[in-house]
Structure 1
Amino acid sequence: MHDDPTELDGYDWPTCVAPRCGRQLWATEAGRFACRPCEDATAARVRELPVLFSRLDSTAMLMKGGRRAGAVTSGSRTPPIPPRLDVLALVGPGGIAARLSAIEDAWRGALGWTVAPWRGNSAEAVPHLVKFLGDNLLWACSSYDSIGQDIDDLRRLHGECRALADGDKRGGRVQVGFCPARYEDGALCWQPLTAATDNHRIHCHACGARWDGLGEWRDLREAQKAAVLAHEQGVAA
């Protein structure tokens, strides 16, 4: 919702460019690409990354599930690769630091600034990268037209780190009935809907309708019941 709706017919009110948002921007957000709630959520995720990196970049985490010290390794004297390759992929080359650095480089290019040199190893680089992104996030949300993808990339990166650090299993999807939204000609969308067990939003990929949170989920259920009832009454008539 925006706080100053226009009365101009056919005016397409600007919306947040973040892929999982799409909210209408407030009048006070005029000229921005991403809304302030998305900026705040992204800032919080970025701030958490150094702590998550430290938790992942530990011998205990890398070796979790590995064999005990001194175990026979088929005659080889070379220590085995840590079994947590998923963790290693985040703390090693190409992981958290590299993914943050790619965003920093793109922002520096857009600003016309010199690309920063690599700052030591990943553990040394992450705090610097996080500080740069935090310091310039307001600019990016206000003036950088590719910020939507970066917000999504940072959300995914934070989610991957959090899931591994906390030992969470990836959420599944469940069927939640059919989409009761109607098109302009009155036709029901009626596409199958699914919901992620670890997400509070239901999104119809056919017509674009969204239901966000428990309150709107109840509205969805009532709309589904009403659509089924209308169909049954039509058939009976």
Structure 2
Amino acid sequence: MHDHPAELDYEWPTCVTPRCNRRLWVAEASRWACRPCEDATGRRIAELPGLFTQLDTTAMLMKGASRITSATSGSKTPPIPPRLDVLNLVGPGGIAARLAAIEDAWRKTLGWTVAPWRGNPAEAIPKHVAFLANNLLWACSSYEEVGQDIDDVRRLHVECAALVSGEKRPGRVQIGVCPTVVDDGWCGTQLTASTGSHRIHCGSCGARWETLGEWRELRAAQERVLAEAAGVAA
């Protein structure tokens, strides 16, 4: 999969997971995703059915709703659940559908038929989870697009866990473009930073800034790029 040519410009393979991109160990050189990403994804997949069970309750769906009775509303029809964020995860287009999309992509690559379990999310999710868990090693080793699937599972798990725990997701702010030098000039991807983390990661070129000193280097590099661009324009 990853050849080792004699040319001096050979680049050692890195993990394809967007938030990882670390160099693979020698024993991992034939893989697409590293073992730590595989292990973390396996844990997240295993926790999704339990998170779904906690979310798929009347109490969770109605959390924060005003008490409305037939005496005051004139109707015995219950109000629409105010927690649309929860409903979006436990409903037909939520957790089950997002896991099914990953499973179908893996099955297509393997030459298998699409997942036969559809319909009720409560019944389908354990089936999807079992399939993904059983084939995760294959995907990390042989499926080139596995990095995006790993990131999709991570984001799905974060959404579910945040709602179950009642945590507010940290906001993100734009902090300028990525100044990393690439083959055709400089990256230029819009960077964002989370209010809940000190790490900055470019999803396009994989560059990272994690310490205060690296943040200062990032700002200085951005200013140089802007100055050069202004000079060219002038």
Q: Say yes or no: TM over 0.5.
A: yes
**Take 1:171 and 1:134, find their aligned partners in 2: how far apart are those partners?**
29
* 1:146-185 aligned within 5 A: 146-173=145-172, 183=181
**Take 1:192 and 1:91, find their aligned partners in 2: how far apart are those partners?**
32
* Residue in structure 2 matched with residue 233 of structure 1 by the alignment: none
**Take 1:219 and 1:7, find their aligned partners in 2: how far apart are those partners?**
36
* Residue in structure 1 matched with residue 230 of structure 2 by the alignment: none
Residue 22 of structure 1 deviates from its aligned partner by 1.3
Provide the aligned C-alpha RMSD in A: 3.4
Q: Deviations over 1:133-173 (max 9, x none)?
A: 11100100111111111111111111111111111112024
Name the aligned partner's letter for residue 195 of structure 2. T
Q: Deviations over 1:36-55 (max 9, x none)?
A: 11111111111110111011
Matched, 1:11 2:10: yes
- Runs of at least 5 residues in structure 1 that lack an aligned partner in the other structure: 228-237
**Take 1:106 and 1:204, find their aligned partners in 2: how far apart are those partners?**
26
Identity within the alignment, %: 66
Q: Secondary structure at the match of 2:77?
A: coil
Residue 205 of structure 1 deviates from its aligned partner by 6.9
- TM-score using structure 1 length: 0.77
* Residue in structure 2 matched with residue 89 of structure 1 by the alignment: 88
- Runs of at least 5 residues in structure 2 that lack an aligned partner in the other structure: 222-234
Q: Is the 8 A contact 2:55 2:164 kept in 1?
A: yes
Residue 74 of structure 1 deviates from its aligned partner by 4.3
Name the aligned partner's letter for residue 195 of structure 1. A
Q: Secondary structure at the match of 2:200?
A: strand
- TM-score using structure 2 length: 0.78
* Residue in structure 1 matched with residue 224 of structure 2 by the alignment: none
* Residue in structure 2 matched with residue 198 of structure 1 by the alignment: 196
* Residue in structure 2 matched with residue 50 of structure 1 by the alignment: 49
Q: Is the 8 A contact 2:33 2:141 kept in 1?
A: yes
* Residue in structure 2 matched with residue 209 of structure 1 by the alignment: 207
Matched, 1:38 2:32: no
* Residue in structure 2 matched with residue 144 of structure 1 by the alignment: 143
Q: Secondary structure at the match of 1:15?
A: coil
